[in-house]
Structure 1
Amino acid sequence: MRVTLLGTGDTTGTPTPGCDCDTCRAARERGVERTRFAVHVEDEASGDALLIDFSPDFRYQFLREGVSLPDAGVVTHIHFDHLDGLGNAYRLFDDLPVYAASETDPETGESVAETVARKYDYLDNVHPHPVTPGETFEAAGFDVTLVPVDHPPLLCYGVVVERNGSKLALSGDTTFDIPDASLAAMRDPDLLLADGIVPAHLADYHPRGGRHPERDGVPRTFGTKHMTMEGALSLGDELDAGETRVVHVSHFFPADEAFADELAVDGETFSL
């Protein structure tokens, strides 16, 4: 199983358009990008390919990395930076199954699958498939499980992908307060991709600070929606991950911290 990180940034990406902060300047100088989130998973023997989340940078990511178009897709939640790239399916696919959660979100009155169907009803080649969180289903030959995480106010899901004894886990956009059943499903991955939007010390600047502190008081949640880098790495330890990469990284990381080894950048690949 070959995993390619197509997009490792948050909703504005790094470099951020119109931004001249030290981190964005350093990213330009290094030739490093963190575009909006998406992960490509391919079985190298069969060529089967699965896309997790549809980044608005879809076209650019696929051209840049040269990976195959997916045979199926998974959508974790309905935020712009994870869903709106699905419009790129126009003329690219004859038939694209897209799997998303079936449970109704009290905030929107519809499930993620229903939102996908409503927003992209003009795409005859996109076929949403509602799936039950916590139940494993097959997509493009992979065994996939959506697991609830914590990203208020919307329902959001992490993803577990397995094939031939290899296991990938994604935390999704989430705080550190992931339900126990989801943690159990995610446990022992070969690779964990974990949301870590900023370093913990920046929680001091959030109106709601940080939450879910470690024993030394370092917050593992930034505000109300995302983990800190420290939270992402702590999740990897808790899950006994073979390797943890911090994704959904923002340009708010100070420049001298933004390119640390733990923080993923676009184009990284892993063979599981």
Structure 2
Amino acid sequence: MTLLGTGDTTGTPTVGCDCETCERAREEGIERTRFSVHVENERLDESLLIDFSPDFRYQFLREDVSIPDAAVVTHVHFDHLDGLGNLFRVVDSLEVYAADETDPQTGRSVAETVAEDYHYLHVIDVCPTTPLEPIHVCGFNVTLVPVEHPPLVCYGVAIEDPITGAKLSISGDTSYNVPERSRAALAEPDLLLADAIVPAHLCDYHPAGGRHEDENGVPRTFGTKHMTREGALALAEDLNADRTRLVHVAHYYPPDEAFEEPLAVDGEQYTI
């Protein structure tokens, strides 16, 4: 698998930003573009894409990965969806899997939103998918896992190889308050990609502060929608992850923390 994009909504370096973290990223040639993951099944020579970053074109050219045979959309925020239009004249057809449950905020499911907003993109075939019910895609068992990312519905993803038993879990954009059934579906991964937008000490600067504090009072959720670094690592421990990389990382990390383990950067590759 290749981590195509490991950044948050604005990415790092952020356009127009001269903070120390963005400056260091520029100096060292480090990037965190908007979130996307490319997962290859080498046995079948097929690949699955998780989310359509607005940086789709740049990511695929930079990493020279194969055009996906299928894709999953976790939710309808632009930094996970708006790269979908890049498929024009790139593929003849592509199945795009998205959840079928209605979002109370929009009155539409993720699948309906994708199908309606991209009605002109005739190369895509949107496949409504029931959360917590595995589907078989690119030789993998793929499960959409409800998480907490208010005000919209959002999903993590569990990807398992039924032949080898290898498992990748992706938390999706979420607070630490992941439901128990979802935790069970994500549990025991060989690799966990966990949303860790900022370190916990920055919760003091969020209008909503932090929440889901641990026994020492350290917030595991930043505001309402994302995990802190400490929350992501706590989730990794809860799930008994064999290895963890922190993604959806913001440029607000101080420069002496921003590129330390286990924070991921674009281009990392893993085999499980």
CA deviation vs aligned residue, 1:206-229 (integer Å, no higher than 9, x gap): 111100111111100000100001
Give the C-alpha shift of residue 45 in structure 1. 2.4
Count of aligned pairs between the two proteins: 270
Verify: 1:58 aligned to 2:56, yes or no.
Answer: yes
Distance 1:146 1:13 in 2: 25
Distance 2:235 2:243 in 1: 11
Give the C-alpha shift of residue 44 in structure 1. 1.6
Runs of 4+ in 1 over 2 A off after TM superposition: none
CA deviation vs aligned residue, 1:87-115 (integer Å, no higher than 9, x gap): 00100111100000000000000000000
SS of corresponding position for 1:39: strand
Q: For the Cα contact (< 8 Å) 2:208–2:223, is it kept in 1?
A: yes
Match for residue 38 of structure 1 among 28, 36, 39: 36
Distance 2:258 2:210 in 1: 19
CA deviation vs aligned residue, 1:223-242 (integer Å, no higher than 9, x gap): 01000011111110110001
SS of corresponding position for 1:134: coil
Match for residue 160 of structure 2 among 159, 162, 166: 162
Distance 1:141 1:106 in 2: 33
Verify: 1:211 aligned to 2:202, yes or no.
Answer: no
CA deviation vs aligned residue, 1:11-36 (integer Å, no higher than 9, x gap): 10000011100000000111100000
CA deviation vs aligned residue, 1:45-88 (integer Å, no higher than 9, x gap): 22110000000000000010011010000000000000000000
Match for residue 6 of structure 2 among 5, 8, 11: 8
Greater shift after overlay, 191-200 or 39-48? 39-48
The one-letter code matched in structure 1 to 2:173 is: D
Give the C-alpha shift of residue 119 in structure 1. 0.9
Give the C-alpha shift of residue 141 in structure 1. 2.0
Q: What TM-score, normalized to structure 2?
A: 0.98
Distance 1:17 1:79 in 2: 19
Verify: 1:151 aligned to 2:156, yes or no.
Answer: no
1:39-188 pair list within 5 angstroms: 39-163=37-161, 164-188=164-188
CA RMSD of aligned residues (A): 0.6
**Please, which runs of 5 or more residues in structure 2 have no aligned partner?**
none
Verify: 1:269 aligned to 2:269, yes or no.
Answer: yes
The one-letter code matched in structure 2 to 1:185 is: A
Distance 1:143 1:191 in 2: 16
Distance 1:218 1:97 in 2: 42
The one-letter code matched in structure 2 to 1:12 is: T
SS of corresponding position for 1:255: coil
Partner of 1:229: 229
Q: What TM-score, normalized to structure 1?
A: 0.98
Distance 1:138 1:98 in 2: 13
Distance 1:154 1:72 in 2: 24
Give the C-alpha shift of residue 43 in structure 1. 1.1
